Structure 1
Amino acid sequence: MKLTQWKGIVEGLLFVAGDEGLSLKQISTVLEVESDIVEDIINELRDDYLTEDRGLRLVEVAGAFQLTTKKEHSGFLKRLIDSPSTTTLSQAALETLAIVAYRQPITRQEIEEIRGVKTERPIHTLVAKALIKEVGRVEGTGRAILYGTTKEFLDYFGLKTIEELPPLPEKIDDEYVQEEADLFFEKFQETIDESK
């Protein structure tokens, strides 16, 4: 396979890995190639991102490579986050928020096990909107981030403490869960709309 093809694959892997990044060994294992070849691919990708016409850069943090945005573009990214059109939350973000609210502190992996799908993007959205935040790290290998709700979350819902959330029923059937989820999301959306 050509180096340009490898670069595209590694770029995709790094995009999917998100803020956790990937080590040389992980990339090497996935590609089934030697580490020195992966180093060459990483170095070429890093050089590609150094040009002015690219919006990303490739960085190494604690032995893991990850894609990040360029600092000089931060003003535009802030405008995107602060713009009124981005104040509504997707269904995925609302589901993730409900899980964090009731199960905090919770890791991204635990959220994904409950939802059955990846949650990196919803978590980024919720952190950017200051509705959830990092509240600690799990002990042991990997030291995964633990997420919890913020004061802003309580303000949105008019709660004094997290204990004021409505209790979850002891016996849950699918129809009840859907009704409760719809009510929760409807109330949350109303609150966001009112804050505009």
Structure 2
Amino acid sequence: MIDDEILAGIEAVLMITDSAVTAEDLAGSLGLDEDTVLEAIRTLKTDYDGDENHRQRGFEIRHVAGGFRIFSRGDYHEVVKDFLTAGQSAKLSQAALETLAVIAYRQPISRPRIAAIRGVSVDGVIRTLLLRGLIVEAGKEASTSALLYATTRTFLDTMGMNAIDDLPDIAPYLPEDADVAELGAEDTEVLAEIDGALDDDLDDETDSSAEMSRVAD
């Protein structure tokens, strides 16, 4: 049986990470061997899944991208979506506003480039902006295949603008592309275009739903 302290330690790490963590990394950071880590993860997964004597949790451990991460359970996709798109989250956070500004002035732009400019992970705020219909996937970078993002007609309507050209001229205050490249980003060459996303109503939220599945999975 795995010690409760080991279980709690692994659980704590998985709760705060914004990307999948490998068993090797968990073992190294907690001073354990990989077999112990894998057994602990199986124990936690069983605990979260519940049984006839214990309730199922609203979250679960999934093996993704070669590592492990805690996700909200897929059964509660609609609950999570409703929370992110209404009620307590009606107002965008400062982080979301900053990320939206970077996209607006540098579009189309990839997630790694946005993170390089802001200096922090932007996974969560990208999901929120997609769900709100303020941004949309706009093709991929040729060199990295990273998804590119651009603002939408909903963004223009929300800002009371007719076109992106109506944005205030603050672009010179953002890092130049060369500066971002030094942080690990590659030159952007768009492989696919938006296919009229900026001209059409985004009520179907197809791209947003695909991104949201990462939260719900």
Same fold by TM-score greater than 0.5: yes
* Letter of the 1:149 counterpart: T
Percentage of identical aligned residues: 34
* Letter of the 1:83 counterpart: A
5 Å matches for 1:88-167?
88-136=91-139, 145-167=147-169
In structure 2, the residue corresponding to 1:92 is in which secondary structure? helix
Structure with a larger share of its residues in helix: 1
How many residues of Structure 1 are paired with residues of Structure 2 in the alignment?
Answer: 169
In structure 2, the residue corresponding to 1:79 is in which secondary structure? helix
* Letter of the 1:168 counterpart: I
In structure 1, the residue corresponding to 2:21 is in which secondary structure? coil
Greater relative contact order, per chain length (Cα 8 Å cut-off, separation 6+)? 2
CA distance in 2, matches of 1:49, 1:139: 40
Q: CA deviation at 1:39?
A: 1.0
CA distance in 2, matches of 1:9, 1:146: 36
In structure 1, the residue corresponding to 2:69 is in which secondary structure? strand
Task: Report the aligned-residue RMSD.
Answer: 3.0
Write out the 4+ residue segments of structure 1 that deviate beyond 4 Å after TM superposition.
136-141, 169-172
CA distance in 2, matches of 1:70, 1:147: 27
CA distance in 2, matches of 1:9, 1:139: 40
The CA deviation string for residues 137-171 of structure 1, in whole angstroms up to 9 with x for no partner, is 55678x65543323322332244543443333647
The CA deviation string for residues 6-44 of structure 1, in whole angstroms up to 9 with x for no partner, is 2222223223333x3222233233334322122112111
Paired residue for 2:61, among 58, 61, 75?
A: 58
5 Å matches for 1:1-196?
3-18=3-18, 20-51=19-50, 52-136=55-139, 145-168=147-170, 170=172
Residue 120 to residue 162, structure 1, CA distance change in 2 (3 Å): same
Alignment TM-score, normalising by the size of structure 2: 0.62
Residue 131 to residue 4, structure 1, CA distance change in 2 (3 Å): farther
**Unaligned segments of structure 1, at least 5 residues:** 173-196
* Letter of the 1:11 counterpart: E
